[in-house]
A and B are shown apart, each in its own frame.
Chain A
Amino acid sequence: MNAMFVVFWKEILENLRDRRTVINTLLTGPLMAPLMFALIINASISRELAKADKPLPVPVVGAEHAPNLIAALKRSGAEIKDAPADPEKAVREQDADMVLRIPAAFAKSWTDGEPAQVELVYDESQRDAQGSVARLRGMLEAYSQQNGALRLVARGIAPSVMRPLAIAERDQSTAQTRGGGLFSMLPYFFILGVFIGGMALAIDTTAGERERQSLEPLFVNPVRRSTLLAGKLGATVAFAFTTLLLSIIAFSVAGQFMPIDKLGISLQMGFYFAACTLLVMLPLVVLLCSLQTLAAAFAKSFREAQTYLSLLMFVPVIPTMMLSLFPLKTQTWMYAVPLMGQHVTILRLLRGDPILPEQLTLCVAATSVAALVCVWITARIYASERLAISA
């Protein structure tokens, strides 16, 4: 027990003297992710806000064929522009969000009372343009309905005849749930912080010790290898946990500066959120740190260990990707899967959704079991003969 703390404090002291490790743990790990995240969110929010208010530039081919339509579009906030020579090409190459084409036959069809065609050239795969296209489509439909109603009135028919169905929308999303969608990447950044925080020590305490040939002398001391490992793992966990703690604090602070309320959403970033996130992340920190130590134990050199750990960093992306590609309904079994359980829990906390105590317990317990298994395997690897041999 005593020897474990000796190893623990020595690793802490030694790594605190390494400026790069300290910067990674205390600065890069916790700050990089929230900062990037805040920038992305800020940019997307201010873009959305700007788009709604600004006049919508609409390149039009053949504006002269429909002066009334053009005038109506201008009244609704469109800014009519000259169309590019090749509208399809311009849209494909993202020079224009969309192009409106009014054929020469428009005026004749209109006066004959037939459906007058206009063409909307756009690119569905261009997510950035979707808002603009939807706005223009809305303007066109409003103009169409308005004139349809006028025609019915001119023939002595009530326009309501054309609307046998009235749809009243009742959106059940709350300010919190709309915020959750935007922040679905948040759990990944927490997990990434843990990875960055633990990386230096996981490598230093195994592959690093072997590379600088200090592992064999260490093993000659009358201390069990499992005790040595416990001290080293403890130090790695301590660094990773510090990163996580700072990461959560940084997120909470960054959240204050994000104009998220302008989108009509709100996020739970209070003490309850921080406490629950820490609780579910704690066993995950142990699991990830021992995974890192395990991977580094197989490496012959520092560099090789770095490669393994970089690959390992992609593992926590899997549940994040899966849940954003297939937005499954949250089910109880998800809490039992390490990484996924944390992901689901953090998202629900953020959205202010209730989490049952047994779900929280399941998440912590399942990840703890996985962590214990991983620590046990790492201890077995650590006890093996070949681990100590440097060359």
Chain B
Amino acid sequence: MIEVTHLHKAFGKVQAVDDVSFIARDGQITGLLGPNGAGKTTTLRMLYTLMKPDRGSVKVDGIDAAIDPLGVRRRLGVLPDARGLYKRLSARENIDYFGRLQGLDTATRASRITELSAALDMGDILDRRTEGFSQGQRVKTAIARALIHGPTNVILDEPTNGLDVMATRAMRGFMRELKAQGHCVLFSSHIMQEVGALCDRIVVIARGRVVADESPEELRAQTGAASLEDAFVKIIGSEEGLAA
């Protein structure tokens, strides 16, 4: 479970994140939706302790990120916005490297790689060097290495960004599977169809603030809009930065 309370972060005079609070529960998919530049990535970066919030707190499974950042990172599997691989290493070596950094033993790493490879359907690319991988192959590898230690909480920053239709469908299937296994899945997106189709709960962020925190049905009911798309536009106040 990920709890975020009254998070603030400013870069110079720009208030990138302004009093953001929400909870992402285990066994649920929580979507962080907002137009480009709304503060989604900055919020997530504070969650996985890459940045320190100016104010507010982040708790993962009850552990305070300000007090024990390593403990928090141990409980998180993160696909950041940046998802570069080491191109002179094979996909397996890339994944294995992160497994070693997580402190897993050889047997555990091998069995986890087999599991993840099956779940992400990457058997044919596992032992190839990652140089020349397609976008989809890169994302698969990046997700596998992020989840090598079997974390309870999974954070995905725009996971379907740059993927083709087939890869996007596979990604959504994978996220549902994580949910079914009882993981807490938190992902950001600016694509409303995706959020609507996947999420148990939607946190809408605009200009650094939470403007809605509801289930998709509630969101529709609250705004009185017929479709999710209209609901979003109403909440955010403009159509800027949203993609269908």
A, B: real partners:
yes
Q: Which residues of A contact B (CB under 8 A)?
A: 2-3, 6-7, 10, 13-15, 17-18, 209, 212-224, 385, 388-390
Known contacts: A14-B86, A213-B83, A214-B86. The answer to whether A220 contacts B102 by CB under 8 A is no
Residue B100 is within 8 A (CB to CB) of chain A in the complex: yes
Indicate which residue in B52, B73, B93, B97 contacts A220 across the interface (CB closer than 8 Å): B73
Which residues of chain A come closer than 8 Å to B52, judged between CB atoms? 385
Known contacts: A14-B89, A217-B146. The answer to whether A212 contacts B84 by CB under 8 A is yes
Which residues of chain B come closer than 8 Å to A13, judged between CB atoms? 89, 93
Which residues of chain B come closer than 8 Å to A223, judged between CB atoms? 70, 101
Known contacts: A212-B84, A390-B82. The answer to whether A217 contacts B142 by CB under 8 A is yes
Which residues of chain B come closer than 8 Å to A10, judged between CB atoms? 86, 89, 97, 100
Which residues of chain A come closer than 8 Å to B79, judged between CB atoms? 217
Q: Which residues of B contact A (CB under 8 A)?
A: 48, 50-52, 70-71, 73-74, 76, 78-89, 93, 97-98, 100-103, 142, 145-146
CB atoms of B70 and A213 under 8 A apart:
no
In angstroms, Cα B31 to Cα A296, docked, is 37
CB atoms of A6 and B84 under 8 A apart:
no
Shortest CB distance B147–A (Å): 12
In angstroms, Cα B83 to Cα A222, docked, is 17
Indicate which residue in A2, A15, A212, A216 contacts B103 across the interface (CB closer than 8 Å): A2
In angstroms, Cα B102 to Cα A223, docked, is 8
Known contacts: A219-B50, A220-B50. The answer to whether A3 contacts B84 by CB under 8 A is no
Smallest Cβ-Cβ distance to A388: which chain B residue: B50
Smallest Cβ-Cβ distance to A16: which chain B residue: B88
Known contacts: A7-B101, A388-B50. The answer to whether A217 contacts B73 by CB under 8 A is no
Shortest CB distance A151–B (Å): 85
Indicate which residue in A6, A220, A385, A390 contacts B48 across the interface (CB closer than 8 Å): A220
Q: Which 9 A-B pairs have the closest CB atoms?
A: A213-B84, A214-B84, A213-B82, A212-B84, A216-B82, A222-B74, A222-B73, A221-B101, A6-B100
Which residues of chain B come closer than 8 Å to A215, judged between CB atoms? 82, 84
Query: A6-B97, A223-B101 are known contacts; what are 6 more A-B pairs with Cβ within 8 Å?
Result: A3-B101, A217-B82, A222-B70, A222-B103, A224-B70, A390-B82
CB atoms of A220 and B70 under 8 A apart:
no
Which residues of chain A come closer than 8 Å to B102, judged between CB atoms? 221-222
CB atoms of A221 and B82 under 8 A apart:
no
In angstroms, Cα B103 to Cα A215, docked, is 19
In angstroms, Cα B81 to Cα A216, docked, is 8
Name 24 interchain pairs, CB-CB below 8 A, sorted by A: A3-B101, A10-B86, A10-B100, A13-B89, A14-B86, A212-B84, A212-B86, A212-B87, A213-B84, A215-B82, A215-B84, A216-B80, A217-B78, A217-B79, A217-B80, A217-B142, A217-B145, A217-B146, A220-B50, A220-B146, A221-B73, A221-B102, A388-B50, A389-B50
Shortest CB distance B229–A (Å): 29
In angstroms, Cα B82 to Cα A219, docked, is 11
Which residues of chain B come closer than 8 Å to A388, judged between CB atoms? 50
In angstroms, Cα B82 to Cα A61, docked, is 79
Indicate which residue in B51, B70, B83, B103 contacts A217 across the interface (CB closer than 8 Å): B83
Shortest CB distance B144–A (Å): 12
Which residues of chain B come closer than 8 Å to A212, judged between CB atoms? 84-87
Which residues of chain A come closer than 8 Å to B71, judged between CB atoms? 222
CB atoms of B51 and A14 under 8 A apart:
no
Shortest CB distance B72–A (Å): 8
Which residues of chain B come closer than 8 Å to A220, judged between CB atoms? 48, 50, 73, 76, 78, 80, 146
Which residues of chain B come closer than 8 Å to A209, judged between CB atoms? 84
Shortest CB distance B187–A (Å): 15
Shortest CB distance B137–A (Å): 15
Which residues of chain B come closer than 8 Å to A224, judged between CB atoms? 70
